[in-house]
Amino acid sequence: MKIKEILNIPKKCFVGTPMSKKDFYDFAQLKTRDIKIFTDIIDKITWVYALQEENIRITPFKDSIREYTEVHVYDVSLKTYKEEKTDKNIDRIADIILRTIPYPIILVFEYQNKIKLYVSHIKEHLSDSTKIKLEGPISTNWINLDNLDKIDEKLVDSLKLENLSFSHFYRFYSDIVDNINIYNGSKLVGRDLSLTVKLSPDEIKAIQEEIASKNKEIELKKNHIKKETQFNRKIEINIEIKGIEKEIKDLEVKLLEL
């Protein structure tokens, strides 16, 4: 199962154009470190689909801060994958591509038969009209297409074109963003949060971000413990960690409120 089968996009939207990595180096004015990341882990980048009014019959959208005239799908095939270290580099690559392409895009990273999706709403950059500003990029975890669980299957179904709004491109893309926010929250607690009546996708995202922030705080404190020489201080830090872990549990419970 590939992304075209998940999204169920008509053939008339197909582009299939390979993108030169050098184009991104030049356009985004990348530094040596970022160029090395592109070179080391990316096999190829392909512009897969362009969804436009003439081929998908979705109306363009424009307001005072954003203009959505079309939505693109890009596929990034990886040469290699080494878990956490590669994921940090993939986040960096995703950020660069999302800022370089001046349209809302569905960015698909692919390794073997696993995929990782990135999306982000965009708006005009207030201080530089030639740039776009990302509104909180979000991503899925790695999804094993050979071993989908119930929550994965729900996401796959929710991203099919027939289950998205065709009123205009902003609403269409917002449905995709919302579905991924709900998916991420569902993965976090192990339950389908699309059944909730109390939390919006934005509220689910906010709770996820707060949990992620607290997990980072825990990691910093654990590193502090390793360096701390005073036993009493180690005990104090450990108590602080337990308190943060309790806060995380409370946030997870909030996600499960129906």
pLDDT tens digits for 42-66?
999 999 999 999 999 899 999 988 9
Given a cut of 50, whether residue 33 has pLDDT beyond it is yes
Q: Give the pLDDT band (50/70/90) at residue 6.
A: confident
Q: Which residues pair with 184 in a beta bridge?
A: none
Give CA–CA dist 200/127, Å, rounded.
31
Q: Which residues pair with 238 in a beta bridge?
A: none
Given a cut of 90, whether residue 183 has pLDDT beyond it is yes
Per-residue model confidence (pLDDT) at position 72: 96
| pLDDT (average), residues 156-170 | 93
Give CA–CA dist 81/43, Å, rounded.
11
Collect all residues with Cβ–Cβ distance below 8 Å to 17 and sequence separation of at least 6.
46, 47
Given a cut of 80, whether residue 83 has pLDDT beyond it is no
Give CA–CA dist 233/158, Å, rounded.
49
Please state which of the ranges 2-6, 13-17, 57-61 shows the lowest mean pLDDT.
2-6
Task: Quickly tell me which residue has 């999204």 as its tokens.
Answer: 7
Q: Give the pLDDT band (50/70/90) at residue 1.
A: very low
Kindly compute the dihedral angle of the four CA atoms of residues 214, 220, 221, 226, in this order, to the nearest 10 degrees: 150
Please state which of the ranges 93-97, 160-164, 195-199 shows the lowest mean pLDDT.
195-199
Residue 201 near residue 178, CB atoms below 8 Å: yes
